[in-house]
Structure 1
């Protein structure tokens, strides 16, 4: 039996953790013995045939495609891998990818939150096809160098990225620790070159502290990615801040590209009393809803910071809390990724990531390509954004989005205090 993994991330950097049993998809012979390479090609075709979200397969004759690739002879696994990548590319889905054993090992290493490289979350712009930075991961070489969300990578080590597939770009950016990679970035009308040293990147998903404001003591929590350890760390953070008797919370999801679906569900349950968190709809229009556990850790006022780098699992969490009126969202519109993928490991150590469903917020909003609009919009200038990314102003009143969040939280705390005073007066 294979183990299927659901996730909602942007790119090669963090995958999922809901594990369910899935069937082994046996190859069906085409009237002649099949090589191991043919078996593997057919296995990938079968998985896509049974699970891929688009039943039109990008408006192609999927059975004819199987015949086309099964009629070939493959002299090596490398040839088979190339054929599979070619076949998968016909779906036109940037989130559906095949990984050879080395790539798949790197992908699985990322599950634990131990990354290697320069720390960039990448996506391909839907319209321009440009290789675009979703967000630099906090504390990584890319983050420290000042690379920003929406930067366009135009060259990698002198190689132009125009027409380059995202997985090819990732391969070029990854490499042994201590080696260099040179990225040319287009930011608006300006181009910049960054020489980055690759590193091992251990992500510690949750950081937190208390801050004293005019409204009293508040708790600030930053979540840069939904890794396997994020729920446990979030649980500890909330408990610690509750012991310090904070009166409200600012949860910072800016530049959080997402990650584990299960992590977003667990963390949502720490804030929500009850009700839906998200609904998944597969290609047969079968809807599966995920609800809060009913055991929140706190009911104190909450403001969430979001921006264009907040994606997928971040959007599930912020969308659920916004729909429930549990939190006020401050910042800018989120990325807009409303799709769910699954991973299927293959017998030779390679693996397939495929889109299997769309997701909707509790109120039925489809945020794919749209994103989530904050309740309070606060734009940043390029200088403010750069200072934020370089940690110069993060979670200080010099950070305009944070300052707005604190001001709104102060009103919520005051309103809560007034409400409690009225109740005590009855």
Structure 2
């Protein structure tokens, strides 16, 4: 699950930087119950191409209640390590991995095998991440509906730039570039 988030993080985070912390029962060969998950092949690694963006560029991430699992780890890593600003609403809160164990009677047992934390050890599971700038796109959500790749209001395509959270993110970036 975290692989996708880490692949995206490589655009901004250098090789060897902490992406997340995982805890579980004896998850490491030495018997410890915690280990850091580090970026491999990151932005300044010899095995990666040049970064797509300058590491000192400001970064704003839009998050909401549907941002979960690897998306939350990505947001937490970019916030903790790169100083990204999270804009939106509290994320879903899925920071665990689970295994399904089949039982002899045909039923199954779902067991949590590990929990993930941000690089600063902030718990994700069950609580989510709180953005630094809270924004809920109520008007756009109430007045529109998604139809494939476009957003419609009264059957007509509308600009996502009308979304108040996107407007806040743009303003934050403009302020940081001044």
Query: Which structure has greater helix proportion?
Result: 1
1:266 aligns with 2:7: yes
Q: Which residue of 1 aligns with 2:172?
A: 408
Q: TM-score, normalised by structure 2?
A: 0.72
Q: Which residue of 2 aligns with 1:341?
A: 98
Q: Which residue of 1 aligns with 2:25?
A: 283
Is the CA contact (8 Å cut-off) linking 2:12 and 2:82 kept in structure 1?
no
Deviations 1:233-259 (A, max 9, x none): xxxxxxxxxxxxxxxxxxxxxxxxxxx
Distance 1:401 1:356, change over 3 A: same
Structure 1 unaligned blocks of 5 or more: 1-259, 346-350, 415-426
SS in structure 1 at match of 2:9: helix
Superposed displacement of residue 405, structure 1: 0.6
Q: Which residue of 2 aligns with 1:304?
A: 61
SS in structure 2 at match of 1:323: helix
Matches within 5 A, 1:104-119: none
Distance 1:388 1:402, change over 3 A: farther
Deviations 1:359-415 (A, max 9, x none): 11000111222111111111232x42244652238763310001101111112233x
Q: Distance in 1 between matches of 2:159 and 2:113?
A: 37
Q: Which residue of 2 aligns with 1:396?
A: 160
Distance 1:388 1:309, change over 3 A: farther
Q: Distance in 2 between matches of 1:395 and 1:310?
A: 22
Which of 125, 131, 134 is the aligned partner of 1:368? 125
SS in structure 2 at match of 1:318: helix
Structure 2 unaligned blocks of 5 or more: 27-31, 44-50, 103-107
Q: Distance in 1 between matches of 2:34 and 2:99?
A: 16
SS in structure 2 at match of 1:397: helix
SS in structure 1 at match of 2:152: coil
1:385 aligns with 2:133: no
Q: Distance in 2 between matches of 1:279 and 1:329?
A: 20
Q: TM-score, normalised by structure 1?
A: 0.32
Q: Distance in 1 between matches of 2:100 and 2:52?
A: 32
Larger RCO (CA within 8 A; separation ≥ 6): 2
Distance 1:327 1:389, change over 3 A: farther
Q: Distance in 2 between matches of 1:389 and 1:304?
A: 22
Q: Distance in 1 between matches of 2:7 and 2:126?
A: 25
Is the CA contact (8 Å cut-off) linking 1:265 and 1:290 kept in structure 2?
no
